[in-house]
Structure 1
């Protein structure tokens, strides 16, 4: 069995997995911009425009609007889609805070709909029960880089005349039925924060095929300006959400690596699925029933403590991390249990007093947070098959230890 690493034994995984991955190409690209003295945007925005065009083409979309982060890209899309104070937006409870907090920021009401227990994505079967006369949009989150059931979600949206804004912050390069995620709904929002599969440290972008949405989002991220106006003409209540030339050249170089990296993560995820399928108490999340390409921003499996001597998830994660697997137990609780929702610290004038998040209960999200979900980080999924085998060995080692301990 061997002594656990957390007890001083040897690690199962001795390799480290650096992120971000770069070489002198990125260094030289940034140095060229620094030497040019043309760092800004929009007065010197050639590289920004070049990246936007490249990213839109990569995703199969007509337009791309870059901005300072993925939260702002969601905000731009919501405002451009015409949401007004008091409107309701359906969101999942198992996601980063920004998916819901940007709804609050525009004085709208997040409505939490539970996740599918097999995928941890928004469950289409639960959406219609949450729709009211105030519902205006759905934000499906392609969580961990796994495609939501977009056919089902779009069908519901069309039936109720709702906008669909894809939160693809985890989903760079992932696909659903041959289409890049983010390109399927009315708009698709991405993050370039430091942990993301495509990164410039910070940044975001929103893509669309809709001319009117593009014009609105382009104006909103550029202090409300319009191509038809002068420099100091402001047509919309926008702000300066622009990225710099330095970020743009980093992203252009990183984009060249994305497809190869996505293929590697997807193949490693499939291989790891097979390895873990033989371990009792460990269940990889389903990839759904349609053709997809998963980009594994996170590799997630469900943990069953009854097969590990009743070891709590937090202790299992601590042991697995000590074995050298880059991992986490994920969110401690669903979004609606965050203090901002429980205490209604909204600073928003249009959310009715009747909205009470202390009464929200999404059992699947609760279970994922408290007991089940274990995340392996995306940079580890860029390893080799031998690395995936070492991850599986680490889990088996912990299971052998916990079962032996339970018998004592």
Structure 2
């Protein structure tokens, strides 16, 4: 018997609210203590900031961590510290948030978009290799949705061509590749603490590295160009005030204590959803290889086939799924190179060569993902229980029965 869809006034398949962020009185008390101390700033009162940086570096297995105001600035700090020059080319995927590419523009460099793998939606190593020129200086692999890129292949390419690797791990807090935390494999790892992220303080970012010189430069750039041991009004590098506050840092320290358990729960729920979906027609989970030892599922992504749903469009399916109470979304409407920024070359004062033209860029896998295939389930839903995952699967079957 067909159930009436929620979008048409029927009952929802999922009636649970998945709250985010997760916090308790200890978080409130920790922030309250900072407020009452009057020591809010950084670096004049940076005890909690330094403490969190040490904790996060240790958690990731890295030597250094430097906090900053957001995950966009963290990418910019990494690029500048890696020594990029105006006109240098930086290889990026087109299926990611805008700042992976716009941070490249802000460094007066040229984003070179290469396609994604159809099974993982992560940047394709083969496409990276094919795009390298004498002007290429770095690769920014994005661990999209918390799924690790093929880092063995990417690091091999970088080593052979003398390129820097900056891991965009904005989605990948706690996730692992061959038991190494993501962000700790390349030259620099960049993270975001924006409100939707798996580790959050509302806003904020951080970079991690094992490289002494990169650390010193990123730390200087974050702190108005000052250097360790220098005078307050001596500025050696073209940095800005990108520092976070004591309140953000103490909140992040509290949240970090929960991250490993949350990551393992998301991973377990993702594996269970994979089992449920593999038995269903019309929905295919993205692949995860044996190298993915821990997936943090910032986004659980599956590929949608309209032929199993009576020809229902992906966009209509996504709207129906959301109406059923599944925290879900259809994802990006188009690849990054189709954004007005790139199509109209709105580069303002940035030194992007005149020959750069994105009007003919075409990455077929990314185009298909944006237009027809991809459906996202959001990270806070992945902290649910086993029966919630079953309810998500039931919601899909309910839609399928109603439209077929």
**What's the TM-score, normalizing by structure 1?**
0.98
State yes or no: 1:394 paired with 2:395: yes
Aligned residue number for residue 127 of structure 2: 126
Which 10-residue stretch deviates more, 344-353 or 307-316? Answer: 344-353
- The alpha carbon displacement at 1:292 in A equals 2.2
Partner of 1:102: 103
Map 1:168-247; keep pairs closer than 5 Å: 168-247=169-248
Does residue 282 in structure 1 map to residue 283 in structure 2? Answer: yes
2:116 & 2:231 partners in 1: Cα distance? 47
- Give 1:254 shift: 0.1
Hey, what does 2:66 align to over in structure 1? 65
Contact 1:145–1:170 (Cα < 8 Å) also in 2: yes
Alignment of 1:329 onto 2:334: no
Partner of 2:53: 52
Q: Which residue of 2 aligns with 1:298?
A: 299
| Equivalent pair of 1:105/1:348 in contact (CA under 8 Å) | no
Does structure 2 conserve the Cα–Cα contact (< 8 Å) formed by 1:221 and 1:238?
yes
Tell me the residue number matched to 2:37.
36
Asked if structure 1 preserves the Cα contact closer than 8 Å seen for 2:70 and 2:194, the reply is: yes
Question: What is the rounded CA distance, in whole Å, between the counterparts of 1:238 and 1:363 in structure 2?
Answer: 38
Answering whether residue 152 of structure 2 is matched by residue 117 of structure 1, we say no
The Cα of 1:125 is off from its aligned counterpart by: 1.2
Structure 1 counterpart SS, 2:387: helix
User: What does the per-residue CA deviation read over 1:337-393, in whole Å, with 9 as the maximum and x for residues that have no partner?
Assistant: 000000000124432222110110000000000000000000000000000000000
1:166 counterpart = 2:154: no
- Give the alignment's Cα RMSD to 1 decimal: 0.7
Aligned position for 1:374: 375
Q: Does 1:270 align with 2:271?
A: yes
Q: How far does residue 288 in structure 1 lie from its aligned partner after superposition? A: 2.4
- For the Cα contact (< 8 Å) 2:106–2:350, is it kept in 1? no
Cα distance in 1 between the residues matched to 2:270 and 2:211: 34
Paired residues, number: 403
* TM-aligned CA deviation for residue 273 of structure 1: 0.4
Gaps of 5+ in 1: 404-408
SS at match of 1:274: helix
Shift of 1:194: 0.1
Q: Give CA deviations for 1:17-47 in whole Å, capped at 9, x if unaligned.
A: 0000000010000000000000000000000
1:9 pairs with 2:10: yes
| Partner Cα separation in structure 1 for residue 363 and residue 145 of structure 2 | 19
Partner of 1:406: none
**Distance of 1:28 and 1:226 partners within structure 2:** 34
In structure 1, the partner of 2:343 is 342
User: In structure 2, how many angstroms separate the alpha carbons of the residues matched to 1:244 and 1:349?
Assistant: 30
1:322-345 CA-to-partner distances (Å, cap 9, x unmatched) read 100000000000000000000000
Q: Does the 8 Å CA contact 1:94/1:115 hold for their aligned counterparts?
A: yes
Question: Structure 1 runs of 4+ off > 3 angstroms?
Answer: none
User: Distance between the aligned counterparts of 1:9 and 1:277, measured in 2?
Assistant: 27
- Partner of 1:300, secondary structure, is strand
What is the rounded CA distance, in whole Å, between the counterparts of 1:256 and 1:166 in structure 2? Answer: 23
Which residue matches 1:318?
319
**CA contact 2:64–2:208 (8 Å) conserved in 1:** yes
For normalisation by structure 2, the TM-score amounts to 0.99
CA distance in 2, matches of 1:64, 1:347: 32
